[in-house]
Structure 1
Amino acid sequence: MTGFPNSPRVVKGGLVLLDPASAQVQRVIALQYNPDTLTRTLQVQHLGEGAERAEALRLKGPAVETLKLEAEIDAVDQLEFPGQHKTVVESGIAAQLAVLESLINPAAADLLANQALAAAGTLEIAPMESALVLFVWGANRIVPVRVTDFSITEEAFDPALNPIRAKVNLGLRVLSIDDLGFDHRGGNLFMAYLQSRERLAAKAATVGFEALGLGGIP
């Protein structure tokens, strides 16, 4: 909210972690400040150069979409009220950064469990499964993603060298039904996202040939 009583409520972008088996919510991560820019790149899935001429217009599946954003995390606001933010007083924004790092690291308990299986002579150990991550950018844009790039620039520190200001760069790849299938909860969310984009496209204004300086197609 802003300081003006009649101003609209500004929602925050963020990430939601779901259990991949039960789809139960494990954690909600709201960005402290919404990034100024969100870069979206869509790579077309066509049949490729070797396709027959009659197949040139066919698509293999949904475009592969990637997202890039820079999030800022700052402890200044919380440090103004130390009684309400004990963790920030003790460790700065390290806890918030650790939550984001958990997106790309397996849990220590899972690593130890796999090590115990290996020590017991288990021949085949399945790779550890991470949480299903949803990128949320408003109510109409909720997509399953995989973190592909992650970097942290710590810019300021308290006397104990805890970070109190940082920039986090995130690269995300949208997971489609090609990755998850139609029956997966993430696949359902991707289809809902794709359908919402189609509804938006249907609302866009249409123009006639005169806007292109044409009377029709030759």
Structure 2
Amino acid sequence: MSEFPGRPRVAKGALLVFGPIVPVPVQLIVFPLNPETLARRFDLGQAAGAKPAAGAGEAATPATAPVESLTVTLALDAADRLEHPAANPITVVSGLLPVISAIEQLIHPSTVLVKLTQALATAGLATITPSGLRWTVLVWGAGRVLPVKVGGLSITEQAFDARLNPITAHAELQLTTLSRDELAAAPVHIRALADVHAIAREVFAAVNTAQSAAQIPSVLPF
């Protein structure tokens, strides 16, 4: 069902955050509005852990997948929810603070985990690395579900309610795909998502080749 009656249902992008073991998201951020653009950049020379084959030059194809960088700009607007205050009491009281806080939490370690790490260190026990306890996954349609890490975040709050809660804002997320070494250290369900994404890309590429086969006579000069 759509969020509001009478509106067509559309697929929305999302960010899922998984814990270290259980393949169930511990945090879910559904994009209120899908960005009009999704900027993607592939750096062939930046793939972590990639080593050229013996005798290969710099121009050779990398041994591992390139690092993909994505820029996602989210438009956040509480207007629709504020038009239905009875159904959205949290928005009436807090505006966009819940979703903005959830986005910010992508780059902040858990306070509980930080204190637990400090307590373990004080007791001389093994410590926990907070950054290794959460895994972020970008969902952008059924064909693109890929593990990423947040490299940067910019939030611009543009309008506020009487309580100074933001009601209109833009959030720009800088994301990069996980390197080979990072995937090797990831739980099996995160590695599986990366494999499924790679296979889906190859399948779509093969479909394009099949669709283009009929145009070969108009392409070849003989």
Bin of the TM-score, shorter chain as denominator length: 0.7 to 0.9
1:60, distance to aligned residue in structure 2 (A): 1.8
**Matches of 2:114 and 2:58, distance apart in 1:** 47
CA radius of gyration, larger in: 1
How many Å separate the matches in 2 of 1:136 and 1:19?
A: 17
CA 1:55–1:67 in 2, change beyond 3 Å: closer, same or farther?
closer
**Per-residue deviation, 1:202:** 0.7
Corresponding residue number in structure 1 for 2:101? 98
1:166 positional shift: 0.4
In structure 2, what residue type is equivalent to 1:97? I
What is the TM-score with the length of structure 1 in the denominator? 0.84
Q: Decide whether the 8 Å contact of 2:120 with 2:126 is kept in 1.
A: no
Cα 1:144–1:54 shift into 2, 3 Å = closer
Under a length normalisation based on structure 2, what TM-score does the superposition of the two structures give?
A: 0.83
1:109-128 per-residue CA deviation (whole Å, 9 max, x = no partner) reads 112222323444x2763421
- Asked if the contact 2:29–2:99 (Cα under 8 Å) also holds between the matched residues in 1, the reply is no
Aligned to 1:167: 170
2:143 to 140, 144, 147: 140
Q: 1:183 to 1:74 in 2, by over 3 A?
A: closer
**Greater CA drift, 64-73 or 16-25:** 16-25
Cα pair 1:61 1:178 within 8 Å, conserved: no
Which residue identity does 1:195 align to in structure 2? I
Structure 1 residue runs of 5 or longer lacking an equivalent are none
For 1:58 and 1:81, locate their aligned partners in 2 and report how far apart those are by CA, in whole Å: 54
Change (3 A) 1:164 1:183: closer
Equivalent position amino acid for 2:135 in 1: L
Q: Conserved in 1, the CA contact under 8 Å of 2:41 and 2:70? A: yes
The CA RMSD over aligned residues, in Å, is 2.9
For residue 207 of structure 2, what is the aligned residue in structure 1? 203
Aligned residues: 211
Distance 1:161 1:2 in 2: 26
Q: 1:58 to 1:154 in 2, by over 3 A?
A: closer
What are structure 2's unaligned runs of at least 5 residues?
A: none
1:88 maps onto 2:91 in alignment: yes
Percent identical among aligned pairs is 33
